[in-house]
A and B are shown apart, each in its own frame.
Chain A
């Protein structure tokens, strides 16, 4: 029976429209809602799809205050078998950067004696991609990134992983354990929310690991971060290319693009055909008309 830990993060939902606070140019987090990092959810889904419950027990693990229990319950309802949260009253949320979180996770993982550790490749809000590699280093484990399939090897305690490579190629990797594996968002789709699973998940206990449980000194944790965010630079404003309603309704894709992008251009492309001389003339006329020449 494999012992698997999936590390998850409860973070503020930055997938919707986000705004920056003037003049500090920081993200305005006031109205953002905490959610389960989609890449972490994909990681959990991938593990559960590839490894059946009788072959591997999944513990989801997170570092967070009691409000993070909500994402653990979502995981319990969608494939996880047990859940652990790491938090101590002495922790300050602002000091919980990726470095400290990785340290705490690694201690918890050692305590759980996991063979396979899986997490999303990056979070929505920070997108640093730090935790996966950091865990591998701290646990002295093999690290394999951007995995989209896995399977236990028969008997000898190693596992096989698939990952996408460039240009449609795929790699098949055999690895010893322990291994830390990161999964991109989209590699697997979490199952649809089930009423019964959600109810069951609500009743399951969540184990709390505090500093004492982890045999960790608080001095190890609250060290100042080495890299500090100076500012966020917003994208430059895009001019709206359309001053009036388009004369024919936009396709689904164009509409979504407009909604997400704040303005889309109506593509009015045409293909220049004919013999090279004719085509060249047509092309030059086009460039002149567009005031490029």
Chain B
């Protein structure tokens, strides 16, 4: 699965205005379908979803590239709410 370290390094090249208080994506941490979870983990370009050895799901909205892949894959299931970050917050592409 995703090499977490590499992706976080890559995200470090980007500019982010973080929303200190709110996550723009809400995730059901107790979601039962492991296959569904694995698919989302595999798909997220920013490797923000992960699972530890105990099977606990982690999601970190910091570093989100706001593409919407997790929304398309799993809105209403693993992803309980998806929106773009509040205006002016989130990733800011200098190049794009």
Contact = CB atoms under 8 A, between A and B. Distances in A.
Direct contact between A and B judged by beta carbons closer than 8 A: yes
B94 A249 contact: no
Nearest to A254: B8
A92 interface: no
Contacts of A263: 9
Contacts of B11: 259
Interface residues of B, number: 24
Contacts of A245: 3-5
Contacts of B58: 249
B16 to A, nearest CB: 8
B32 interface: no
Interface residues of A, number: 26
Interface in A229-273: 240, 242, 244-250, 252, 255-256, 258-260, 262-263
Contacts of B9: 258-259, 262-263
A23 interface: no
Given A248-B53, A252-B60, A193 B88 contact: yes
Main secondary structure of the interface of B (DSSP, over half): loop
Interface stretch (A13-21, A139-147, A216-224): A13-21
Contacts of A31: 94-95
A31 to B, nearest CB: 5
Contact of A260 (B4, B12, B87): B12
A289 to B, nearest CB: 25
A288 interface: no
A13 B15 contact: yes
Top-4 shortest CB links A-B: A16-B15, A259-B12, A249-B58, A245-B4
Interface of A: 13, 15-17, 31-33, 192-193, 240, 242, 244-250, 252, 255-256, 258-260, 262-263
8 contacts: A17-B14, A244-B5, A248-B52, A249-B52, A250-B4, A255-B8, A259-B8, A259-B12
